[in-house]
């Protein structure tokens, strides 16, 4: 019985004529924290969005906990039905750069929506779960506040609670601090660090090099739709083997 | 202006005028309700329909929007009887107003839905909601809040458009007023009265709309 | 039932329909031009420092915008002549009413455009030595008009459609002639199809033309 939470095999994706992912292989085990770094256009966000099926992919496969997501296995390879895809998406949790909280619901409402409608928990239980996670991210005091009343950092922490309350097998973070004012970035990074410390399997796309160095078990450098180099943070950041990675790190001023 | 005489005539004409007012309010209300329902269908087709559906609905919508409401009313009145559907003036007018209303509601709803950030749908998908759930719990509540001011405006326009039904013989307030005046010749007084009534109706709708907007506004 | 489509009566009177369409357009153009003047004056009045001016302008806008246009037309054509003891020509009465109606809506358009202007614009004009009046004419109004163009276009198209109400007081516009042809020839489907298509075509052309004008006049960015 494999401990592999995520298996990406030969992933190819095109946007119209342009191939954005040119054969990506990536495996993650339970508790792994992997950061993907690279310049814009390298395909890192697209890769992340394929894992929770916000993007489709033309070739290759993605397996979460052994289950093939999005498409039925070869040779048939049919796109799965919408209801099934929705269920598969619940295996992952995603936190977005723009938070994307539902503005017409309170913080608590945002977190309980998935619990009641997707996991079909009874209201009282959903609220209990939601409050536990809001406490974890430090937002329990403001659970009845609406997104319009919260700062960026507070909204993002609620967004993390919303994603993780669904008990996903893997958490996906898409440049979650890029849209934040600098003084609000740390509160979010600290929440992510504590989640990592508790053993959550996480795949992050990030620009925060120092953070990636501190929190990751593995760092992946992507360039032009391919994984060019990967390894332990110390190796990747201090002894880059590819020239492009070295150049990227120089520009990123790490 | 002879106030004494006016109030005597007003008292004598009270039922005729009240009936006219009633017809105005009733036909406007029914047209708003039916037109909103139809308009929701139009809006949803324009945003979520297939290519052919969207094309057909868009063509029909542009046709209705490019036609003056007065022409819609006259066309419904003369046409529908020709096509074998026997309608009273009231019913024909109702059909015309409903179609007119639906064109506005449909376009407003489309605008409101398209104005929602794409991230909302993505966030809903990310937590595993199906499309139906996404629409009901995430998109519709936001789109309706967004479309509310325009809908209130449409409702007020409907009452104003109802005045045109007097031309095809529907006994609403304008026609009732004209009939009363033909008996007592107090043209200025009774038309002023009608004007004040229309003003109050329209003003109240706007007031009500702003009240509802404040009630459903999100805290910020 | 066998309703045979016969467009002949329509084509025979097509010149009448076209003349009606032209009259409608002409009335709409007149109404929007004068309405713009009214709207500009009232918009500046509403954003001015004088409470009296603000009151007058906002009363005008509130009263007219809450009235049905058809009511205003009937009032202008039937009641006003009786009250002042003079006969008024149909077309004059209609255009005057439409103009006053347009003015109220355009006031709101211009007021919105004025409020959306960057605050520093007026100060920049004053800072280079222009008087208030010069600033208003050479700096504020040109920018504001360009911002207001989309809303102006929408209003013009609405006004053009509203000219169909003239038929109700027997002004010979497109709708009036269509109704006449309908009554005389009993060709119901043909008449109203052609009539509505003419309006739709006219609106589409006007909209395209105005969009082109918007692009040409737009401040480059």
Find chain B residues with C-beta within 8 A of A113's C-beta. Answer: 127, 129, 137-138
* Residue A80 CB-density burial (10 A; 0-12 exposed, 13-18 middle, 19+ buried): middle
* Residue B182 CB-density burial (10 A; 0-12 exposed, 13-18 middle, 19+ buried): exposed
Helices then strands (H, E): number in chain C?
11, 0
CA nearest to A154, candidates A194, A184, A112, A192: A184
Query: Could you give the CA distance from residue A122 to residue A112 in angstroms, rounded to a whole number?
Result: 10
C 136-165 residues with CB < 8 A to B: 161-165
Q: Which residue of C has its CA nearest to B81?
A: C188
Find chain A residues with C-beta within 8 A of B129's C-beta. Answer: 86, 113-114, 117-118
Residues 6+ apart with CB under 8 A from A188: A153, A156, A157, A160, A176, A177, A180
B160 min Cα distance to partner chain A (Å): 33
B199 min Cα distance to partner chain C (Å): 5
CA nearest to C192, candidates C172, C170, C171, C177: C177
How far CA C76 is from CA of A102, B192, C71, C87, C90, in Å, comes to: 52, 11, 9, 11, 10
Query: Could you give the CA distance from residue B154 to residue B102 in angstroms, rounded to a whole number?
Result: 10
Say if the Cβ atoms of B68 and C164 lie within 8 Å.
yes
* Residue B118 CB-density burial (10 A; 0-12 exposed, 13-18 middle, 19+ buried): exposed
Query: Could you give the CA distance from residue A26 to residue A10 in angstroms, rounded to a whole number?
Result: 9
CA nearest to B181, candidates B169, B193, B170: B193
Among the listed ranges A146-155, B127-136, C212-221, which one has the minimum average pLDDT value?
C212-221
C206 has a chain B CB within 8 A of its CB: no
Query: Could you give the CA distance from residue C67 to residue B157 in angstroms, rounded to a whole number?
Result: 10
B87 has a chain C CB within 8 A of its CB: no
C48 has a chain B CB within 8 A of its CB: no
pTM reported for the whole predicted model? 0.86
B99 has a chain C CB within 8 A of its CB: no
Phi, psi of B26 (to 5 degrees): -65, -50
Residue C212 has pLDDT above 80, yes or no: yes
* Helix, strand, coil tally for chain C in percent (to 5): 85, 0, 15
Query: Could you give the CA distance from residue C147 to residue C145 in angstroms, rounded to a whole number?
Result: 5
Residue B82 has pLDDT above 80, yes or no: no
Query: Could you give the CA distance from residue B103 to residue B35 in angstroms, rounded to a whole number?
Result: 8
Residue C221 has pLDDT above 70, yes or no: no
Query: Could you give the CA distance from residue C140 to residue C113 in angstroms, rounded to a whole number?
Result: 10
Residue B165 has pLDDT above 90, yes or no: yes
Quick one: pLDDT band at residue C82, thresholds 50, 70, 90? Answer: confident
Quick one: pLDDT band at residue C53, thresholds 50, 70, 90? Answer: very high
Percent over 70 (pLDDT), chain B: 97
For residue C133, how many other CB atoms are within 10 A of its CB?
8
C136-146 mean pLDDT: 87
Please state whether at least 3 CB pairs lie below 8 Å between chains A and C: no
Quick one: pLDDT band at residue B83, thresholds 50, 70, 90? Answer: low
Name the token pair of A195. 């989640």
Find chain B residues with C-beta within 8 A of C5's C-beta. Answer: none
Helices then strands (H, E): number in chain B?
9, 0
pLDDT score, position B4: 83
Q: How far apart are the first and last CA of chain B?
A: 53
Domain C8-217 has CATH 1.10.15.40: no
Quick one: pLDDT band at residue B56, thresholds 50, 70, 90? Answer: very high
A130 min Cα distance to partner chain B (Å): 14
C86-91 mean pLDDT: 89
For residue B113, how many other CB atoms are within 10 A of its CB?
21
Average pLDDT taken over every residue of chain B: 93
Q: Which of B78, B170, B205 to mutate to test the interface with C (most CBs of C within 10 A)?
A: B78
CA angle B89, B90, B91 (to 5 degrees): 90
How far CA A130 is from CA of A98, A108, A116, A167, in Å, comes to: 21, 7, 11, 11
Please state whether at least 3 CB pairs lie below 8 Å between chains A and B: yes
pLDDT score, position A130: 97
- Residue B162 in contact with residue B27, Cβ under 8 Å? yes
Name the token pair of B217. 């506004």
Per residue in B17-41, pLDDT (tens digit) is 999 999 999 999 999 999 999 999 9
Quick one: pLDDT band at residue C1, thresholds 50, 70, 90? Answer: very low
**Averaged pLDDT in 10-residue chunks for chain A of 254 residues:** 83 93 94 94 93 92 92 86 89 94 95 93 96 96 95 96 95 94 93 94 93 93 93 92 90 75
C119-146 mean pLDDT: 85
- Residue C90 in contact with residue C77, Cβ under 8 Å? yes
């Amino acid at each position: 019985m494999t401990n592999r939470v995520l298996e990406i095999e030969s992933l190819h994706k095109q946007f119209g004529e342009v191939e954005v992912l040119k054969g990506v292989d990536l495996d993650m085990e339970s508790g792994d924290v992997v950061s993907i770094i690279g310049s814009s256009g390298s395909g890192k966000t697209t890769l992340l969005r394929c894992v929770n099926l916000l993007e489709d992919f033309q070739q290759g496969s993605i397996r979460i906990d052994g289950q093939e997501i999005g498409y039925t296995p070869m040779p048939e390879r049919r796109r799965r039905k919408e209801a099934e895809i929705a269920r598969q998406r619940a295996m992952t949790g995603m936190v977005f750069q723009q938070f994307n909280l539902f503005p017409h619901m309170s913080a608590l409402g945002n977190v309980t929506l998935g619990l009641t409608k997707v996991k079909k928990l009874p209201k009282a239980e959903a609220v209990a779960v939601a409050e536990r996670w809001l406490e974890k991210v430090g937002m329990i005091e403001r659970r009845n506040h609406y997104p319009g009343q919260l700062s960026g950092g507070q909204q993002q922490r609620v967004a993390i609670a919303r994603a993780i309350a669904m008990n996903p097998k893997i958490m996906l973070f898409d440049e979650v601090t890029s849209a934040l004012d600098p003084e609000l970035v740390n509160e979010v990074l600290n929440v992510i660090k504590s989640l990592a410390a508790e053993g959550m399997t996480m795949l992050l796309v990030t620009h925060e090099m120092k953070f990636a160095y501190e929190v990751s078990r593995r760092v992946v450098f992507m360039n032009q739709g391919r994984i060019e180099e990967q390894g332990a943070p110390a190796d990747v950041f201090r002894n880059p083997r590819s020239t492009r990675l070295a150049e990227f790190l120089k520009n990123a001023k790490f | 202006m002879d106030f004494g005489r006016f109030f005597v005539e007003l008292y004598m004409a009270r039922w005729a005028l009240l009936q006219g007012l009633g017809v105005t309010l009733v036909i406007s209300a029914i047209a708003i309700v039916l037109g909103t329902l139809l308009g929701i269908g139009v809006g949803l087709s324009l945003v979520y329909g297939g290519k052919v559906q969207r094309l057909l609905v868009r063509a029909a919508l542009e046709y209705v929007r490019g036609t003056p409401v007065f022409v819609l009313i006259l066309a419904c009145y003369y046409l529908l009887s020709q096509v074998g559907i026997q309608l009273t003036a009231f019913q024909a007018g109702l059909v015309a107003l409903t179609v007119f209303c639906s064109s506005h509601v449909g376009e407003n709803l489309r605008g409101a839905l398209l104005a929602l950030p794409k991230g909302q749908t993505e966030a809903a998908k990310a937590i595993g909601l199906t499309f139906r759930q996404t629409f009901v719990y995430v998109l519709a509540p936001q789109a309706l809040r967004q479309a509310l001011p325009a809908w209130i405006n449409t409702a007020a326009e409907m009452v104003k458009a109802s005045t045109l039904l007097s031309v095809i013989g529907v006994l609403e307030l304008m026609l009732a007023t004209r009939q009363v005046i033909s008996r007592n010749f107090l043209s200025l007084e009774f038309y002023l009265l009608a004007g004040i009534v229309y003003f109050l109706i329209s003003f109240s709708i706007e007031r009500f709309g702003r009240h509802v907007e404040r009630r459903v506004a999100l805290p910020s | 039932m066998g309703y045979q489509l016969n467009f002949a009566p329509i084509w025979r009177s097509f010149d009448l329909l076209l003349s009606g369409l032209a009259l409608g357009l002409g009335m709409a153009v007149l109404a929007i031009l004068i309405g713009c003047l009214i709207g500009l004056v009232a918009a500046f009045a509403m954003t001015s420092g004088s409470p009296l001016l603000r009151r007058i302008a906002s009363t005008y806008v509130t009263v007219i915008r809450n009235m049905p246009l058809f009511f205003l037309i009937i009032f202008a054509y039937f009641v006003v002549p009786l009250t002042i003891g003079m006969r008024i020509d149909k077309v004059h009465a209609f255009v005057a009413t439409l103009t006053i109606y347009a003015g109220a809506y355009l006031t709101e358009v211009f007021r919105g455009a004025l409020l959306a202007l960057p605050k520093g614009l007026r100060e920049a004009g004053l800072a280079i030595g222009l008087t208030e009046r010069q600033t208003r004419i050479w700096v504020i109004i040109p920018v504001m008009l360009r911002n207001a163009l989309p809303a102006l276009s929408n209003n013009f198209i609405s006004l053009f459609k509203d000219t169909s109400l003239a038929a109700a007081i027997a002004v010979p516009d497109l709708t009036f002639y269509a109704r006449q042809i309908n009554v005389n020839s009993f060709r119901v489907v043909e008449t109203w199809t052609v009539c509505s298509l003419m309006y739709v075509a006219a609106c589409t052309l006007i909209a395209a033309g105005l969009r082109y004008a918007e692009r040409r006049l737009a401040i480059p960015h």
